[in-house]
Structure 1
Amino acid sequence: MSRRQGRGSTGTGRPAVVPAGPYEAPPLVREDVPGTLLVDFHGEDNRKRSYDFSTLPLPGWRPLLARSFALRTGYSGDARTLESARHAWTAVQNWARFLDTLALPPATPQHLTRAHVDAYNDRTDAAPRTRHAMMMELRTQFADPQLKGELPSEAHDAFNRRLRKPEAASVGGYSSGELERLTAAARADTARITRRLRDSEDLLRRYREAPDRLGEEDRSRGEMLAAMAAGGVVPELSGRLNVRLPQRVALASQLFMTWRDLAPLFILLMIVTERNGETIKELPVRHRVLEDRAVELTVVKRRRGTKRWFETVTWEIGPKSRELHTAGGLYLLLLELTARSRACCDASTAIAIWRDGHRAKVVGRDEHWAPFEQNLGLGSAMELSGWAAGRPKPVLADPPPKKKKGTDPPPPRPLRITFNQIKTSADARRTRQLGGHLPSSAKSNTAQTLYRNYLKADEPTREWAAEVVSEALVDAEQAAAEAHERAIARRGGSPKVLPEATTAQQLQEDGLPPEIARKLADGQLDTAWTACEDHDHNPETGKPCGDSFLDCFHCGNCLVTPTHLPRLLSLLDSLGTLRHRMSEDDWWKRYGPVWVAIERDILTKFSPAEVARERAKPLPDAMLDLVEAPWEHP
């Protein structure tokens, strides 16, 4: 094999380095002893596991299921983390066990029929979302090109049916007050944990440097800390388990983080970094500090698509006094607090703790472990809600509204805490801070996913959005009204509305010259929706008017009588339809002043009964195309 390495080892006319001798890829499926079928998994997250297919029922199915699983989880497959491999394995187990329960199970894949697949899809012993997930996984596995012809065509067709994903129950976030209380509690408890461990480290340092300078109590405690620090072993205590276990945990917690310390630190990490729980579980040890100002590391974000699980992030460190407020400072603090346990268990992830080994049947240094290196599902064991309720000052939810007047509201209850609600609340807060602009607010998801999975169901966000929209509409209407006022100031005043005059005599009594009154009554002055008193003299220019018909509503020459009311109502309806087809900004700029003029200056001069009577009748065509020609657009 060539010894050339690094830059310059390849180039034009220079062959690439290749292994010496023939290369054979390892088999997809191992058969160590006759009758066993093993598939080895080594994921992109560096987790490993072997799956034994000889434990499945229906021996005739085992070779196909082993191959499909190996292709799905292999180097060219899409399931490249241990969690996704577990999901694929669960689907395979579920499928084999279901077939084994049938009265006449298909002994081999070639015996599979559409009826078998239909029965699996329609079974009632699983939730709709579970059935959908299992069907999608099996469809993906059996669709691999290397398995073509392994299943009958009718069975393939049954797997490839259209599958409608059940709607997930929407989970909203916390109110602003709830999030503030949760953040304050998590930060206070994290600060307490930090002080506890740093005080112990300081005592240990002073004991090692000059034990004679310590008092008797500190020297005794320093000796105990030095013994635990040397080997990472927490001394065994005598007595009953339920008595010695809390004492031993308290002893270990003087130097190591324990399981009960995880909840507040984990919650604060999610809030400050604005990342989901799975990403926090897999925070790496490996990182790079950039000029003491930021820390750079690669985080895992699952469910982002094939081979897109890893993302390099840069988090601000900030001053030491603000380490609980910045993502980089909190990450470095996590590494500091878990350093001793991580060294004992040789963990590659940032979270490592000590736990009593009674249940796991481990002792000594093996009591240190990285809980999420092998099993991400342990997050539920942190009991986040239990931490919130069990604090000396519990984290409380907002009180529910009063059901009846004069009754006292029910007492506040402890806040229920879940990963989804923390992530939703953090995303909602960031979205509000950025003014609701979803593309800018999307951090670890697309804008569509951010809205659909997090913000859509969040009641505080909906309330905020409704408030923002209401304020924006008020501002837009006010701007349109001001534009209308400026226009009528230039064009001789607002339209003349004659709500009770239809004949020439009535129009003259309202102050119109006889000739104008006669032409107006005969309809000779009508324009698109109103009438014009003097088309030959534009109030602004003094010349024949060539303005848009929409400008008539800001002109002193505009005349409105009851005969124009149906056309005006039809125009309003058409403007309302256009509002759903255009952006709010564009609609208010082009049609807002007209809408304000009609609603405020014209319709208010007619009685509500008269307007309602005209609306009950068929309205004429709005003729909005008269102003929608290209030359009419600004």
Structure 2
Amino acid sequence: MTGRGRRAALPPADHHSGPALAPDGLVVTVTNTAGYSREYDFSELPVPGPMQRSLARAFAARSQMWSGHKSATSYWKNVGYFARFLSQLENVPQDLDALTAAMLKRWRAQHISTVAGKSTLYMVRTLLRHDPRLAVGPVAEELAKRIPRVKPSKQSYGEAERERVVLAAQRQFRSAWLRIQENARLLDGWRAGSLDEDSREWRIGQVLDHVAHAGDVPRTVGPNGQARVTNRRLLGGRTPENTWGRLFLTRRELTALTVLMTDRFGWNLSVCQRMPTPTTAPSAGQSTSVTYQIQVEKRRSASGMWFSTENITDSGADSPGRLITQALEATAPARALAALIAPGTDLLMVARRHQYGRQDYQDLDRPRPVGPLVFGVTHEDGYHWALSHGLGGSPFQRARRTTVTREGRPLQHAQSTHESVYVLPDHRVQRTAQEVFEAGALEALTQARAVFAGRYAEGPTPDGQETAVAECVDEAASPWPAPDGSCGADLLLCLACPNAHVHPGHHPRLAHLHQQLESLRSVLDDRSWTHRWQDHLLRLDDLRTKIGPAAWNAAMTRVDDNDRLVVRLLTNGELAP
């Protein structure tokens, strides 16, 4: 079988998508949202024909959920793994209905221990469930087994790591932005006729005009058939920065800009690849600032929720919108050339290809190149960019994770994804949260130790006044005064009052009250019980700890009818303060 299906073909002008499954039941055609198709031939799988057709039907049914070829190719690759596994069994099943639970147990055991294996199990299970013959029975039960969630392999950057990545991207992009700005001003001067004719600047402006329209500097073909830069001495060399790079970003410079976009806004690569040029809107009350309206396309969102709009304002050097302004200025010549070659093209993230003319561009989920120009970057671009700066691995996933955790809210994803994928597994978040949890636990412990606010006494005090649950030594200083100056608190609140004294004479009644509140928990709903009785029970728990379990249990044996009557009146709310 092939690793990535067959080479895709460009659609004709009158293209419309047909059935995914071919009449022979073996070839599935997946058409992405741009209208490009890719075929997946199931006759290449090393399993019997009926099994090939069943897998093709399941694949075709699932393909209705995919908007691009990336998902299709991932499933195709994992179907190949499954087919190879089946082909190596002693008794190769002829079709899906011949699968046994033992086969699937063996398949699961081979893959459950690795991150990639869990992903393979999930995709294959998703396809198999499309077959109605596997809906019941031991095989269905085996397919229903939980597959542990794959833990994200990427972690957010520490502050020092992030600064290193961002600084490298800022230096590279700023250098490119200044270079393009300088040459764009020179080109504007040449077109306006403000340069002295035949001066060096005028001649460079003439070359820049050629670059702006052709995407490259003039070249002369030598006797050996190789094209050389015609004005290399005038331009100062043959490197991209001295030739076509005077007006266009290189792929690595566009990668640096994308790193900065990811760090600032948390956008992923698919968003940057298809982002239209931002439009501007007036900023209310601000004459020196500009607000950009950014269209964000998120194809993994639910149907009807692919597109959203973000407003980003450039109000100064440190504002988020300043990066958008610089991106617009750095890509302006390339966007103008793209619109000239293919009218209607209006994407922000554009760069010039180093090897113009190569036709091996196969990622049809990305916008197609226009002449010498390409749009967006890939993870491979990120890997090579990081390598060139001495950094480890493509920075995009880690930069996005860092931004999301720094902002503390979902960015182009659901709240559940934000919590389960970005926040909870992140080590930096865990380290930060540990201090918060410790402080909260200590505060809770302090409050718990101070639940019973009164005093424990050995016996009655001469000036004390008996209440239903304690002895009050200063009714006039009540924390809950009544309009007449007396205490207006519920009698059960006496245990929360610093004026309350509890001595052994109160223990039987309080022990019985504690028992009755525990009993109420079993007959009341949680919300009602928590609202009315939980705080009182906590105070009694605290008091029982202070008195000691032996004395508390002994007090239960001394409960009399008067104690039972008072407790019943208290719990029924029939005793006024």
TM-score, normalised with respect to structure 2:
0.67
Alignment correspondent of 2:121: 135
The one of 311, 314, 318 aligned to 2:307:
311
Residue 419 in structure 1 maps to residue 401 in structure 2: no
Residue 548 in structure 1 maps to residue 497 in structure 2: no
Alignment correspondent of 2:84: 97
The one of 33, 57, 67 aligned to 1:67:
57
Q: Which amino acid aligns with 1:272?
A: R
Indicate conservation of the 8 Å contact 1:317/1:329, yes or no. no
Distance 1:365 1:428, change over 3 A: closer
The one of 343, 347, 351 aligned to 1:353:
351
Residue 456 in structure 1 maps to residue 439 in structure 2: no
Give the superposition deviation at 1:450: 1.4
Distance 1:290 1:117, change over 3 A: same
Q: Once structures 1 and 2 are overlaid, which stretch shifts more, 446-455 or 102-111?
A: 102-111
Q: Which amino acid aligns with 2:247?
A: L
Distance 1:224 1:370, change over 3 A: same
The one of 366, 369, 373 aligned to 2:374:
369
- TM-superposition CA deviations, 1:478-529 (whole Å, max 9, x none): 9999999xxxxxxxxx95654xx45xxxx7xxxx43xx79xx9xxxx5854x
Give me the whole-angstrom Cα distance separating, in 2, the residues matched to 1:334 and 1:547: 72
Unaligned stretches of 5+ in structure 2?
1-15, 230-236, 284-289, 362-368, 557-563
Distance 1:237 1:59, change over 3 A: farther
Distance 1:361 1:53, change over 3 A: same
- 1:56-455 matches, cutoff 5 A: 56-58=45-47, 60=49, 61-73=51-63, 77-123=64-110, 128-144=114-130, 147-149=131-133, 157=140, 160-169=143-152, 171-175=154-158, 179=162, 182-183=165-166, 186-210=169-193, 213=196, 216-233=199-216, 235=219, 247-250=238-241, 251-285=243-277, 288-291=279-282, 293-305=290-302, 307=303, 310-319=306-315, 325=321, 329=325, 332-333=328-329, 335-336=331-332, 338-339=334-335, 342-343=338-339, 346=342, 349-357=347-355, 360=358, 367-370=372-375, 377-384=379-386, 386=387, 389-390=389-390, 418-431=395-408, 441-455=409-423
Give me the whole-angstrom Cα distance separating, in 2, the residues matched to 1:614 and 1:152: 60
Indicate conservation of the 8 Å contact 2:118/2:150, yes or no. no
Give me the whole-angstrom Cα distance separating, in 1, the residues matched to 2:35 and 2:143: 33
Give me the whole-angstrom Cα distance separating, in 2, the residues matched to 1:259 and 1:356: 8
Give me the whole-angstrom Cα distance separating, in 2, the residues matched to 1:64 and 1:140: 14
Give me the whole-angstrom Cα distance separating, in 2, the residues matched to 1:247 and 1:159: 63
Alignment correspondent of 2:18: 26
- TM-superposition CA deviations, 1:451-472 (whole Å, max 9, x none): 2222224455445555567778
Indicate conservation of the 8 Å contact 1:113/1:152, yes or no. no
Give the superposition deviation at 1:331: 6.0
Q: Which amino acid aligns with 1:42?
A: T
Q: Which amino acid aligns with 1:196?
A: R
Indicate conservation of the 8 Å contact 2:33/2:68, yes or no. yes
Indicate conservation of the 8 Å contact 1:536/1:545, yes or no. no
Indicate conservation of the 8 Å contact 1:345/1:369, yes or no. no
Give the superposition deviation at 1:78: 1.4
Q: Which amino acid aligns with 1:136?
A: Y
Distance 1:331 1:479, change over 3 A: farther
Give the count of matched residue pairs: 507
Secondary structure of 1:39's match?
Answer: strand
Q: Which amino acid aligns with 2:251?
A: W
Identity %: 18
Q: Which amino acid aligns with 2:490?
A: D
Indicate conservation of the 8 Å contact 2:195/2:201, yes or no. no
Q: Which has the higher contact order (CA 8 A, sep 6+)?
A: 2
Distance 1:548 1:342, change over 3 A: farther
Secondary structure of 1:357's match?
Answer: coil
Give me the whole-angstrom Cα distance separating, in 1, the residues matched to 2:163 and 2:107: 47
Q: Which amino acid aligns with 2:301?
A: R
Give the superposition deviation at 1:193: 1.9
- TM-superposition CA deviations, 1:566-625 (whole Å, max 9, x none): 979x98xx99xx9xx999xx99xx959x97x999xx99xxxxxx96x9479887899999
Distance 1:582 1:314, change over 3 A: farther
Secondary structure of 1:257's match?
Answer: coil
Give me the whole-angstrom Cα distance separating, in 1, the residues matched to 2:213 and 2:31: 34
Indicate conservation of the 8 Å contact 2:248/2:333, yes or no. yes
Give me the whole-angstrom Cα distance separating, in 2, the residues matched to 1:102 and 1:536: 88
Distance 1:469 1:544, change over 3 A: closer
Secondary structure of 1:253's match?
Answer: helix
Give the superposition deviation at 1:269: 0.8
Give me the whole-angstrom Cα distance separating, in 2, the residues matched to 1:537 and 1:225: 88
Give me the whole-angstrom Cα distance separating, in 1, the residues matched to 2:489 and 2:360: 92
Distance 1:309 1:562, change over 3 A: same
Distance 1:113 1:168, change over 3 A: same
Give the superposition deviation at 1:258: 0.9
Give the superposition deviation at 1:194: 1.3
Give the superposition deviation at 1:265: 0.8
Give the superposition deviation at 1:153: 6.1
Indicate conservation of the 8 Å contact 1:323/1:333, yes or no. no
Distance 1:184 1:212, change over 3 A: closer
Give me the whole-angstrom Cα distance separating, in 2, the residues matched to 1:181 and 1:582: 52
Give the superposition deviation at 1:268: 1.4
Give me the whole-angstrom Cα distance separating, in 2, the residues matched to 1:544 and 1:560: 18
Secondary structure of 1:383's match?
Answer: helix
- TM-superposition CA deviations, 1:549-572 (whole Å, max 9, x none): 22344253x22458879979x98x
Give the superposition deviation at 1:202: 1.6
Secondary structure of 1:28's match?
Answer: coil
Indicate conservation of the 8 Å contact 1:316/1:326, yes or no. no
Give the superposition deviation at 1:266: 1.0
- 1:545-624 matches, cutoff 5 A: 547-554=490-497, 556=499, 558-561=500-503, 614=548
Give the superposition deviation at 1:123: 1.9
Q: Which amino acid aligns with 1:71?
A: A
Give the superposition deviation at 1:323: 7.3
Give me the whole-angstrom Cα distance separating, in 2, the residues matched to 1:45 and 1:625: 75
Distance 1:323 1:482, change over 3 A: same
RMSD value, Cα: 5.5
Give me the whole-angstrom Cα distance separating, in 1, the residues matched to 2:197 and 2:554: 97
Alignment correspondent of 1:55: 44
Distance 1:542 1:204, change over 3 A: closer
- TM-superposition CA deviations, 1:52-82 (whole Å, max 9, x none): 3333333503333333222221xxx212222
Indicate conservation of the 8 Å contact 1:256/1:341, yes or no. no
- TM-superposition CA deviations, 1:319-371 (whole Å, max 9, x none): 58667645754664565364256458856653332232289578998543335
